[in-house]
Structure 1
């Protein structure tokens, strides 16, 4: 089953991290990705730009609304993800617990719904 590990962290705190520390953290994330690859569970990963560069689009009838980010006033923002293919949620949770991002934020684990589940 495929799972998305969504990485949430405080963008403001992240901007205050010294470059040498950030480089070390990114090295930890690369090592984590290599562990996922070695285990044969890695599918993909990407980092997202800051929420200040995001927008929210809504349509109500014929009206299109575009709101520039950041949209939500929350402490942690969605900043990147890993998609993995594992046996079950317990295994996904174990991989999430190994993610370095869990030490400076949170890792949300969600199963990716298969097309066959909603095309019945």
Structure 2
């Protein structure tokens, strides 16, 4: 089954990180991705630009509304994701625990709906 692991962390912590520490953190993230691949779990994954670069799109009563920046001020922002394959939610949680941001922020694990399984 596919699970989406949404990575939430505090952007301001990343912005304040000294270059050497940031390089070490990125190396740890790359190593975690390599481990996910080696374990047969990795399907896709990407980092995202800061929340301030987001555009919020809504259509209400046929009218388009676009708002710049994040919808809500929150402590943690969505910074990236992994799409993983796991037997069940317990295995997906173990996979998510391998993502370094689980130690500093949180990883939201959500099953992906398979519409072909109807």
Distance in 1 separating the partners of 2:72 and 2:19? 27
4+ residue runs over 3 A deviation:
none
What TM-score do you get using the length of structure 1 for normalisation? 0.93
SS of corresponding position for 1:84: strand
Distance in 2 separating the partners of 1:16 and 1:39? 33
Q: How does 1:28-107 map to 2 (within 5 A)?
A: 28-107=28-107
TM-superposed CA distance for 1:62, in Å, is 2.5
SS of corresponding position for 2:97: helix
CA offsets per residue over residues 38-77 of structure 1, 9 Å max, x none? 1111111100011110011111112211110022110000
5+ residue gaps, structure 2, are none
CA RMSD of aligned residues (A): 1.1
Residue 114 of structure 1 corresponds to 114
CA offsets per residue over residues 66-106 of structure 1, 9 Å max, x none? 11002211000001011111100000001111211111110
Distance in 2 separating the partners of 1:70 and 1:12? 14
5+ residue gaps, structure 1, are none
Query: May I ask how many residue pairs the two structures share in their alignment?
Result: 118
